[in-house]
Structure 1
């Protein structure tokens, strides 16, 4: 039987930084500032022009007043001139009224324009944060899909299958050596364990570092779930946990059945558990999100219980729970009571990895 390591090597997917923001999106604050300047200029022009009109109408009213005075001195001969002067005065008052209304309308409309622009800018900002949240959770989904492929592949390795079938000293040593070779090529794992059906760890890829051989993991959730797998094509994906046997490191554990003959429909003879070194990999994702310093953002990954499993500031890992208000939605944004912008997107899964109900989140302080 050929071994898994004899096959064509498939490199581990690396976690990469977020791509740059879409063109123009980063200029939202600049657009808002530009609209503010234009609005101020319009208001200034409106004020200046209406003041000029008011100045002219004041002169007209003064001239009309003087004309009325002179016409009254002229007696009956100035009566016609008095009528004209009064009409000039009335026209001046009408122009003054129009000027005041114009100033009020311009100021009101530019104020409404600013409010509309601010709402549009805030919406664009929120939608951008949702997109970045999706990008973060998609990156981790694609990476964890690779983990599900790895565990099913390595469970068919001949050394692993032979050791599970007959865990004698030579077979245990050989299996541990093979697991160590895998760890040398796949640096995102802390350790790989081969367990029997009773939960006893038979072989480990880093037995020199972690004293796990002989330990029993039958009480763990991931092992119990692995026992119920229907075929070698199925797998278990565990939530993030601190693993005591690995120095309390944060790990995501993936399991597959080891089956007789390395065949998917063979009889179960053991369980292969691989422990993904979660914390540094997840940190690379959340710290790689390019939100912008002005947003004062905290980028998070949370599990289905809204427990923080990754944070760009490194705080609250596996202890903090965030009060995400979903309203039944898998994605969206809203402002909390403090005024902070909360954007989120649920896991879409990738290929055969359906995800565990996790969310990408971005919290922008008010």
Structure 2
């Protein structure tokens, strides 16, 4: 039996490849923030140099005026010198005009460059965050698709099917042992439950850990009701994350399908198999595994959200299953937007194979760099 992959095992994105040219995160000279840094530096240098020209020209004007005064005192002997001083004064005036025009034009161009650089930077940052959000939700989709395969496969296991036709309990004990073997290999599950058609749990894979499960009724649980109504063995039920009292209050993603007579795809429904995916550690591995630099990670929050914006997982561990994040999805299924000093990038679940997803989102919220804010303020 092959050991099931965990969410973190599936983090196989192009960004994780080694070698090749340095990425923006690895080489500071390639970071988009350099656009604004360079425009600010150019603006500062240009302003300083134009100021120096004006200062030197003022000194030259004073020399020209002093020369005219001296020439006037010299009388006839100073007339030639006075002509030179007057011309020099005119040139200084022209330099003032040119310097003023230069400052005006350069300042306008630099302001435009800064605006364009800021727009490009915002777009690039937002696009990158959206790409990272998509990668995160795709990892979740691929992993949860495997769960849908598991539940449909295990529901056809002969021990699982025989368990529901057992009157003396021997087959149920064997089915429980069989589920335990599966759980030893597939470590991403908390427990597997076999339920009869009335919704009573008749066997579970970890009776030592969850001793009170067998005999409990799950008839009111949506996963059981929907699983009982699946049309064929190819169908499955995928539920949103919820805490399960019988599993110690742990958050689980439950997948279910009908157990059918003879394990046949269209056999008579005997009961339901429910598999409870251990959500917290797997989801945390996904949000913690998003490729951010250490500096970015300090000012970023990575989240998985359900279709209503409920936080399913967060890199800062805050608000899980209680906070509703006000995600603006007006840009479409994937996009980004600025909200004050933060940029938000998001991506809707694309689904994977036969798993269409539940309308969940990957989402990254990132504050602006402190250094960038300081440069802008200056």
Range of TM-score over shorter length: 0.7 to 0.9
- Alpha-carbon distance between aligned partners in 2 of 1:294 and 1:58, rounded to the nearest angstrom: 53
Query: Counterparts of 1:264 and 1:167 in 2: how far apart (Å)?
Result: 24
SS in 2 for 1:165: coil
Q: SS of the residue aligned with 2:277?
A: strand
Q: How does 1:222-301 map to 2 (within 5 A)?
A: 222-295=223-296, 296-301=299-304
1:14 aligns with 2:13: no
Cα distance in 2 between the residues matched to 1:88 and 1:34: 37
Query: Which residue number in structure 2 is paired with residue 122 of structure 1?
Result: 122
Q: 1:33 pairs with 16, 37, 53, which one? A: 37
- Report the more deviating stretch, 88-97 or 127-136: 88-97
> C-alpha displacement at 1:83, in angstroms?
7.3
Identify the residue that residue 195 of structure 1 maps to in structure 2: 195
What is residue 311 of structure 1 aligned with on the other side?
Answer: 314
1:363 deviation in Å? 1.6
Report if the CA contact (8 A) 1:341-1:363 is conserved: yes
The normalised TM-score by structure 2 is 0.85
Partner secondary structure for residue 8 of structure 2:
coil
Q: Which one of the candidate residues 304, 310, 329 is aligned to 1:326?
A: 329
- Whether the 8 Å CA contact 2:2–2:185 is kept in 1: the answer is no
Show the counterpart of 1:4.
none
RMSD: 2.6
The alpha-carbon deviation at position 11 of structure 1 amounts to 3.5
Whether contact under 8 Å (1:64, 1:89) holds in the other structure is no
* 8 A contact 2:50–2:99 mirrored in 1: no
Offset of residue 115 of structure 1: 3.0
Post-superposition CA distance 1:78-124 (Å, at most 9, x none): 6x997776555434322221122213322332233233222222221
How far did 1:200 drift?
0.8
Shift of 1:286: 0.7
Name stretches of at least 5 consecutive residues in structure 2 with no aligned partner: 369-378
CA distance in 2, matches of 1:64, 1:238: 93
Asked if the contact 1:309–1:317 (Cα under 8 Å) also holds between the matched residues in 2, the reply is: yes
Asked if residue 44 in structure 1 is aligned to residue 42 in structure 2, the reply is: no
Query: Contact 1:58 / 1:92 at 8 angstroms: preserved in 2?
Result: no
Number of aligned residue pairs: give it.
Answer: 353
In structure 2, distance between residues paired with 1:58 and 1:147: 85
Match of 2:345 among 324, 331, 343: 343
| Segments ≥4 residues shifted beyond 4 Å | 17-23, 64-67, 80-88
Residue of structure 2 equivalent to 1:355: 357
Aligned residues of 1:195 and 1:271 also touching (Cα < 8 A) = yes
C-alpha distance after superposition, 1:264-315 (max 9, x if no partner):
1211111110000000110111111233344411111011111111011111
- Describe the shift of the 1:263–1:348 C-alpha distance in structure 2 as closer, same or farther (beyond 3 A): same
Contact 2:32 2:124 in 1 (8 A): no
TM-score norm. by structure 1 comes to 0.87
Asked if 1 retains the 8 angstrom alpha-carbon contact of 2:64 and 2:85, the reply is: no
Partners of 1:301 and 1:308 within 8 A in 2: yes
Work out whether residues 145 and 353 of structure 1, in 8 Å CA contact, stay in contact via their aligned partners in 2: yes
> Any unmatched runs of 5+ in structure 1?
1-8
Within 5 Å, which residues of 2 pair with 1:137-176? 137-176=137-176
Shift in Å, 1:42: 3.4
Q: In the alignment, is the contact (CA less than 8 A) between 2:133 and 2:362 conserved in 1?
A: yes
